Amino acid sequence: MTPTLFEIRHSASHVLAQAVLAMFPDAKLGIGPAIDDGFYYDFDLPRTLTPDDLAELESKMASIIAEGQEFSTYTLDRSATETHLAHENQPYKLEIVNDLNLDTYSFYKNGPFVDLCRGPHVRTTADIGAIKLLRVSGAYWRGSEKNKMLQRIYGTAYHTQGELDAYLTRIEEAAKRDHRVLGKELDLFSIQDDIGPGLILWHPKGARVRSIIEDYWRNAHFRAGYDVLYTPHVGRSNLWETSGHLSFYSENMYAKMSVDDVDYYAKPMNCPFHVKIVQNRQYSYRDLPLRLAELGTVYRYERSGVLHGLMRVRGFTQDDAHIVCTPDQVESEIADVLTLCFSMLDRFGFNKVKVFLSTRPKEKYVGDLDRWATSETALKNAIESAGLPYEIDDGGGAFYGPKIDIKIEDAIGRQWQCSTVQFDFNLPERFDMTYVGPDGQRHRPYMIHRALLGSIERFFGILIEHYEGKFPTWLAPVQIKLLSVGQDVVPFSREIQRRLLEQDIRVVVDSSDEKIGYKIRQGLNERVPYLGVIGKREIEAGTISVRGRDGDLGPLNVEQVVDLIRKA
């Protein structure tokens, strides 16, 4: 039976630990799981690893794999487990044992190496296939900055060398598309220590793209029957007590501030504000559904070790919306959300998606079973009515409601979680939301929470990498750059710029004294869709010599340039 990638990678992590112990006999072992694209193992080592060390470790791993060491398993009781790990001087493993607090613990052995592990593994190390160690990074033990920084070795493994080579090619391509590098090169955004980690400064070009995204988002929502809201960045502590955030989410909230002896918190979510707007008046069933949307900036504390450019930040803007509706409106509202979602994703160039339906958790959840059943059926029917293949994540819903998660595929085949459509039974109960039904009585509404792009920051980062900084013309911060040949043509270039700006074309002029060849290379490096050369010949003809990304387009007058860019 062919082993799974999980089994291969989990086994490879053990082989990595075995190789590390061969090089550093006193190494202390952390954890070594398989992950989506490979595996890693955390180590407490006597010195910092170098690239040469990785090469040596990879060579040792190849030797272990070639030996075909058999994986076997056995169990020990709590006392024997602690005795064994203490004898091996493995304090991190002992800490795991104490936290799990089980009666027995399983171990896996291959060759001389033994590790505390639940498995599963391949039959022998010869079944591991092709491996590659990728990099070393720092990782706090158990993700806490209060603990010691360990060295995390990342690697990957595949069934065949061909599969591994294809993955390494994708990694190289991803490195070329890294939004952090392109963000700096294209002057789109920055993150500066003086401001704070995880807090984004949007530069003019990046801010222009964001403005375009947000304008499109608003117009699409207005056309879909939504009302757009604006809510404060902070709220009184009693709001977060009612919502439950102070009980369940306080470690991710920014420290409280006191104003007039009242405690306030920066908002981690927009939901309670939307609920309070709904509660500002009593609605009838005739008023429903309410579709309330906001590009709301929220603040959440993320550990410094997980911050990553635009992808994982501490301050970000969610494209939030909440739909308050009656039970009989649920299914059609979900269908409309999916239609809007796929239309919007397609507009940005993402037409390959995967859909996941997450159902009620097995144990802890809020809301009665009838509501869960109705909601799960509505989500399922909406997906099937749209003709979408989907996978069910049984028990994977949030405690406050089932959900649909949508992952998009980018230009190099990576999947990104963006859109979420989920029910919330928690906030309507906590805030005692009601509407007046046909019987004149008060009823609890259904509330659908949805985000289509996820967050503007993260979505922008995905766009940068998807397009490798070469934004489509409608999204490009500069659509055409005019390149003047000599200072005597600058006035004419400025006049052309004025006329294009009047037609809402995003245009800049390079009036520097650099040679035209340099200006063209600079424009290409800036990923501008169109370059327009203006010299004396162009002045005489009243045209612009236009070059697109695919080559020269010849001389065009202003009206033709406007038409070209609008069609693009």
Kindly list the catalytic residues: 271, 300, 318, 320, 322, 403, 449
Which residues, 6+ apart, have CB-to-CB distance to 450 below 8 Å? 321, 322, 323, 337, 341, 419, 420, 421, 422
Nearest CA to 459 out of 560, 318, 358, 335 is that of 318
Answer whether 449's CB lies under 8 Å from 333's CB. Answer: no
CA 431/CA 272 separation, integer angstroms = 9
Strands (DSSP E) contained in 394-455 are 403-409, 415-423, 435-436, 442-443, 446-455
Helix, strand, or coil (residue 70): strand
What strands, in cross-sheet order, belong to the sheet with 544-548?
507-510, 480-484, 530-534, 544-548, 551-556
Nearest CA to 526 out of 474, 470, 443, 567 is that of 470
Nearest CA to 117 out of 63, 41, 60, 62 is that of 41
CA 481/CA 121 separation, integer angstroms = 57
CA 254/CA 299 separation, integer angstroms = 7
Q: In the 8-state DSSP scheme, what is residue 375?
A: H
Answer whether 13's CB lies under 8 Å from 143's CB. Answer: no
Polymer length of the chain: 568
Nearest CA to 323 out of 227, 394, 393, 412 is that of 227
CA 516/CA 365 separation, integer angstroms = 66
Q: How many CA atoms lie within 13 A of 50 on its CB side?
A: 4
